[in-house]
Structure 1
Amino acid sequence: MTPGPDTDDLAGIYPELGRSETLQSILQTAVHQAGHGLDVLPERAPGWWRSGARVDSDRRTTSVLLGIAERAFIVNFWERGVMMAKGTTTSLDAVVSAIGAWQSGATLARLKPACPFVDYSPLAEAHERGDAVEAQWASYRHTTARHVDHELIEAAYTQPQLRALFPFHSHRTLNFSRCTGFPHTHDIPVITPANGSYRVTWWHTRSPHGPADIGEADTPDDAVALVVAHLPHNCGPAAAGTAEDLDKTDNR
C-alpha cells in the first residue's frame, strides 16, 4: 500500500477533518450519532493513519479510505475473507448507513436498496448462497481471458477431488484452496503452464528457497494427476472462510 495523502490536501477536500481530525475519529462520532454501537478502528497501514478506517466483527469488516484527487469515500465490504461489495460516495452519511447495515448482518439484496452507491458481483452472491466453489469453476470454464489455460481448467475439473476445491489464478498459475476466502490455503500443489509443458510445484511458502518442484508434465491431464497424487491427507471440499479459520478448525 502506498503512503497516505498529505494532511493539507485532505483538509482542503474534507472539511470535516480540519487540520487534526482523522477518518477514524469523524466516523466514530458519526456512527455513534446514528445510534450504532460500533467501534471504528484505524487502518492497519501506518501511512494511512489519517485517511483510513475500518469496523470489524467476528465475520464482517467494512473498510473506508479517502480519495486523494477528489472527495470520495471508498468503501469495501468483507465477509470471511471475501470482498462481497464495494462502492464510492461523497456522502459521509451514506457511508455511516452502509456500515450500520453491513455490520448488522444485511444481505447483499438488502444492502443495495439501502445504499444505492454499493455494487456487488454474481460471485459475491454465490459466496452468500454457499456455492462459491461451483460459481468460480463456472467462471473459469467460460471465461475468454487469455491468462486462463482452458485445457488445464477442464482437466482439473474432471477430477472430483479438485472440483471440490476453490480454484484461483495468480498470474498464469492455477491454484487450489481448501477455503473460499482470502488468505487461501497454500498446502496444495500449483500448476504453471510454461513453454508448452506444465510445471507442478509447491507454493514458495513450503520452501525458503522458492517454489519446490514436484515435477513437469507434457499434458494438462498429467499435470493434474501430479497434483492429485500430492493432495494433503483428508483433503475435503473447500470450506467457507479463510486459511486462519481452517487452522482453528484443524487444531481442535
Structure 2
Amino acid sequence: MTPDPATDNPACLYPELGRNETLQSILQTAVRQAGYGLDVLPERAPGWWRCGARADGDSRTTTALLGIAERAFIVNFREHGVMMAEGTTTSLDAVVSAIGAWQSGATLARLKSACPFVDHSPLAETHERGDAVEAQWTSYRHTSARHVDRELIEAAYAQPQLRALFPFHSHRTLNFSRCTGFPYTHDIPVITPANGSYRVTWWHTRSPHGPADIGEADTPDDAVALVIALLPHNCGPAVAGTADDLDNSDST
C-alpha cells in the first residue's frame, strides 16, 4: 500500500510542523521573516495539503514537498512551464533562501551559487538563453534513440516553418508546439511513422478542425508537406511560455 503523504510522515522528521502546522504555513512565516514579500500557497493536490507548498510569480514557480522515508525538502524550480532546476536539502533555511532567490529573478548560476543543493541541466540553460528550440532540434538530430525517426526529423528540420517550432515526441509521434513550455500547444498536425509509411493526424481523436485522420504519406517529405499545408494562421516561431499563456494572450 502506498503511504499517505498527508498522514504518514514521522513527526520526528519535521519538528517544525508541530501538531497542526503545514509546510505552507511554516514557509510563509519563514520567507516573511527573511524579508521576502512572497505569498506561499498550499500544494494544489488535496492529498498533499500538509506537506506541499508553492510560491507563484508571473512566470516562475517554486514548489516544495516533504520526503516520507527521511527528512528531506524536495524543491523544484519552474519558469515559463519548464522545469529549470531541482534539489533536495534537509535545511528549512536553505529552502527559504532558494525560494527567495528564484522568485526574485535569480539566474540559474546565481541560484546555484546561493543554494549549492540545487542542480540544473544544460537544457535548462538553453531555455534561459532563449535558444531552446534549436537545442531541442539538435538533440533529436543527433540522438540514437530508437523511437526517433531521423529521416523524419531531417525532413521537418529542412522546412523553416517547422524548424521555428518546438519539436517533442510522444512515444513515436513527432509533435510541433508554438511554445517551449508545458503544456504544449496541440493545434498543429502530428506525424507518426507506421509500417514504412507516415500517418498524419490531429493530436486528439477528434478535434475542432475535423476528423483526426488527415492522411498517409509514403515519405517523410510528403508527410511534412501535409503538416505545413495545415499550419495555423500566423504560425510564427515558438515562444517562451505555455499553451495557456498563448490562449490568454489571444483572448486579450
Please give the range of the TM-score, normalised by the shorter of the 2 chains. over 0.9
Q: Which residue of 2 aligns with 1:59?
A: 59
- Counting only pairs closer than 5 Å after superposition, residues 81-230 of structure 1 correspond to structure 2 as 81-204=81-204, 206-207=206-207, 212-230=212-230
Counterparts of 1:211 and 1:20, CA distance in 2: 53
Quick check: 98-107 or 14-23, which moved more? 14-23
Name the structure 1 match of 2:239.
239
Where has structure 1 moved over 6 Å in runs of 4 or more?
A: none
Offset at 1:196?
A: 2.1
How many Å separate the matches in 1 of 2:242 and 2:15?
38
TM-score using structure 2 length = 0.93
Amino acid of the residue matched to residue 129 of structure 1?
R
Q: How far is the alpha carbon of 1:223 from its aligned partner?
A: 1.2
Amino acid at match of 1:228: I
- Write the deviation string for residues 156-179 of structure 1: whole angstroms up to 9, x where unpaired: 100110000001111211110011
Deviation per CA, 1:40-60: give whole Å up to 9, x if none. 000011111111100001111
Count, aligned residues: 250
What do residues 209-238 of structure 1 show as CA deviations (whole Å, max 9, x unaligned)? x97111111221111111111111111111
Q: Distance in 2 between matches of 1:214 and 1:4?
A: 45
TM-score w.r.t. the length of structure 1 is 0.93
Supply the distance in 2 between the matched residues of 1:44 and 1:165 (Cα, whole angstroms).
31
Contact 2:6 / 2:49 at 8 angstroms: preserved in 1? no
Does the 8 Å CA contact 2:205/2:212 hold for their aligned counterparts? no
1:249: how far off?
2.5
TM-aligned CA deviation for residue 205 of structure 1: 6.8
- The letter of the residue matching 1:134 is E
Q: 1:12 to 1:218 in 2, by over 3 A?
A: farther
Can you list the C-alpha shifts for 1:78-101, whole angstroms capped at 9, x where unaligned?
A: 111111111111111111100000
Report the secondary structure of 1:61's partner residue.
strand
Q: Distance in 1 between matches of 2:102 and 2:29?
A: 18
* C-alpha displacement of 1:113: 0.8
User: Which consecutive unaligned segments of at least 5 residues does structure 1 have?
Assistant: none
Tell me the percent identity: 86
Does the 8 A contact of 1:8 with 1:19 survive in 2? no
| AA matched with 1:184 | Y
Give distance in 2, aligned partners of 1:86 and 1:205. 35
Verify the 8 A CA contact 1:10 1:17 in the aligned structure 2: no
Q: Which residue of structure 2 aligns with residue 72 of structure 1?
A: 72
> 1: distance between equivalents of 2:111 and 2:29?
22
Q: Secondary structure at the match of 2:50?
A: coil
Aligned partner of 1:229: which letter? A
RMSD over equivalenced CA pairs, Å: 1.9
| Structure 2 alignment gaps of length 5 or more | none
- AA in 1 matched with 2:25: S
The residue aligned with 2:46 is 46
Letter in 1 for 2:111: L
- Asked if structure 1 preserves the Cα contact closer than 8 Å seen for 2:189 and 2:200, the reply is yes
Tell me if structure 1 keeps the 8 A contact 2:8–2:68: no
For 1:120, give the aligned amino acid: H
In structure 1, the partner of 2:15 is: 15
**1:189-222 deviation line (CA, Å, top 9, x unaligned):** 01112222211110117539x9711111122111
Matches of 2:179 and 2:110, distance apart in 1: 26
What CA distance in whole angstroms lies between the structure 1 residues aligned with 2:120 and 2:74?
Answer: 14
Q: Is the 8 A contact 1:3 1:48 kept in 2?
A: no
